[in-house]
């Protein structure tokens, strides 16, 4: 598939506030990225079928009432559940960033689609919102979104109050769940330091296929080096965040 034929659907509405940056991050790589309000998508579900990538940006959807990403997840589940399953079964890609990641988890699409929920995101260990750049490790994983930066240490911004990943069950059950993710190569991103109390410093995970990816850091806010406080102040210097979007788009080029 030609890059110019790849279609990305970026949702917005009701507290989502990173849709413009997310759409720009895709458009910078020559694809068509369309921002669609969640209610327009619910009323016209064929918009999802036409897309190759479904992007759920960061923000505070529905004010994070009853839990971050919870109401957004419920709306998608009960209004577009069958369409999302068809989208996933057809081999297309999904990325959820920050609040979008929280919604993917609460939808039951991560760490494994359409199974009992084993993971959630809760309040940071510090009990308050964190807004800063952090160092991250990119392990070898099945994630198609990180293929260009595997085994690198990178820096991205985080902006969240509920980014602490926890697993269900007692300590033994949690350890087993983590081992399964490790063995399946589903841990796609980890913090170098213990930033928020997340289990084993996990910052991002993918599903077993590698096509559904959720992460708490914001790659769309790091597509140019001049956005990085310690980066090169050149407007034409590409930032490390661009690699995530390039990897996803390249997958579409080779598989559709």
Q: Is 179 a catalytic residue?
A: no
Token digits of residue 50: 């036409």
Catalytic option among 218, 225, 246, 252: 218
Catalytic option among 18, 21, 83, 98: 98
Residue with tokens 């458009």: 27
Phi (first) and psi of residue 145, to 5 degrees: -80, -15
Token digits of residue 222: 């790091």
Q: Is 128 a catalytic residue?
A: no
Q: CA–CA separation, 99 vs 97, rounded Å?
A: 6
Provide the phi-psi class of 42: left if phi over 0, else alpha when psi is between -120 and 50, else beta.
Answer: alpha
Phi (first) and psi of residue 134, to 5 degrees: -135, 155
CB-based contact 220:97 (threshold 8 Å) = yes
Q: CA–CA separation, 248 vs 143, rounded Å?
A: 9
Q: Is 98 a catalytic residue?
A: yes
- Regarding beta strands 164-167 and 119-122, do their DSSP bridges make them parallel or antiparallel, or are they unpaired? antiparallel
Catalytic option among 21, 118, 162, 220: 220
By residue count, the chain amounts to 256
Catalytic residues: 98, 218, 220
């Amino acid at each position: 598939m030609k890059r110019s034929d790849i279609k990305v659907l970026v949702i917005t509405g009701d507290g989502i506030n990173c849709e413009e940056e997310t759409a720009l991050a895709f458009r910078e790589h020559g694809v068509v990225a369309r921002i669609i309000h969640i209610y327009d998508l619910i009323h016209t579900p064929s918009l999802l079928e036409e897309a190759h990538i479904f992007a759920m940006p960061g923000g505070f959807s529905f004010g994070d009432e009853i839990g971050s990403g919870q109401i957004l997840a419920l709306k998608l589940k009960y209004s577009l559940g069958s369409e999302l399953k068809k989208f996933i079964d057809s081999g297309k890609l999904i990325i959820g960033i920050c609040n979008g990641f929280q919604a993917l988890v609460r939808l039951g699409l991560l760490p494994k689609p359409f199974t009992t929920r084993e993971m959630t995101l809760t309040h940071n260990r510090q009990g308050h919102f964190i807004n800063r750049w952090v160092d991250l490790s990119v392990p070898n994983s099945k994630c198609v979104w990180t293929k260009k930066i595997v085994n690198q240490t990178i820096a991205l911004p985080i902006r969240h109050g509920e980014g602490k990943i926890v697993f269900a069950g007692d300590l033994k059950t949690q350890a087993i769940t983590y081992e399964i993710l490790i063995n399946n190569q589903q841990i796609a991103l980890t913090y170098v330091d213990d930033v928020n109390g997340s289990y084993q410093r996990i910052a991002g995970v993918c599903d077993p296929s590698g096509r559904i990816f959720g992460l708490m850091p914001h790659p769309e806010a790091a597509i140019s080096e001049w956005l990085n406080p310690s980066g090169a102040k050149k407007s034409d210097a590409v930032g490390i965040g661009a690699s995530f979007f390039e990897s996803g788009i390249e997958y579409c080029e080779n598989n559709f």
